[in-house]
Amino acid sequence: MRVFLATTNPGKLSELKKGLRPLGWTFVTPGELPYTPPEETGMSFEDNAMLKAASAARQTGLPSLADDSGLEVDALGGEPGVYSARFGGHTRDLDRNLYLLERLKGVPLEERTARFVAVLVLAYPDGHLEVYRGETEGLILEAPRGHLGFGYDPLFYVPEAGRTFAEMLPGEKARYSHRGKALRALREAWAHGPPPREIKPME
Ligand code: IMP
């Protein structure tokens, strides 16, 4: 199957391609086809992932996969959430990380609990959607650790693994990460080919 990957984020693209490799799909990426990302006006990761995937499927005529993801920090009432890509109005990873540290100044480690959420939506040109979700619990450190990955990875410590996402090689991050879990759910659903479409009762 030819699938359009509806993201321009290089970190996401590389994780999605690796995670989907066992399915043997061919990937088409923005730049190869005319595609304008829609405005992310949704109030949830699900809404935004659906918006992006459905818009991409309409524009490209291909089954399209979108990832909407972000960080929910408990001490900030769930911020930045769906606004993770533009937290504090910042567009660069480094500035967003510094802003997050600033917002959490003085909050002790045990209260710096957070989770990463990823929602993957595979949308078909006929309007059908598949939705997969993954979450990972962690702590926001007081200083960055590690140089791998992207985004908030250097600040996100996974107690179960004893390291931050930025200290994990791609395979290890995939084992623990929100996106890795959502990709696992997708791969399981596709283990025997396209998952059956739910048949809705007639109204
Ligand atoms: P969006 O899904 O395009 O709205 O952007 C999500 C934002 O959340 C990204 O730009 C990153 O800043 C952050 N994010 C999502 N997934 C990860 C991850 O795996 N590691 C680090 N940051 C992430």
Q: How far apart are CA 123 and CA 52, in angstroms?
A: 9
By most ligand atoms within 8 Å of CB, the mutation choice from 45, 68, 71, 135 for ligand 1 is 71
From ligand 1's centre to the CA of 151, what distance in Å?
Answer: 6
Tell me the whole-structure pTM to 2 decimals.
0.96
Ligand 1 midpoint to CA 199 (Å): 34
pLDDT in the model for residue 203: 65
CA dist., res. 10 & res. 8, Å (int): 6
Q: Give me the tens of pLDDT residue by residue for the chain, a chain 203 residues long.
A: 999 999 999 999 999 999 999 999 999 999 999 999 999 999 999 999 999 999 999 999 999 999 999 999 999 999 999 999 999 999 999 999 999 999 999 999 999 999 999 999 999 999 999 999 999 999 999 999 999 999 999 999 999 999 999 999 999 999 999 999 999 999 999 999 999 997 777 76
pLDDT in the model for residue 126: 96
Tell how far the Cα of 107 is from the centroid of ligand 1, in angstroms: 23
3-state DSSP assignment of residue 122: strand
CA 51/CA 68 separation, integer angstroms:
10
69 Cβ inside 6 Å of ligand 1: yes
Q: For 2-189, which CATH class?
A: alpha beta
For the chain, domain boundaries: 2-189
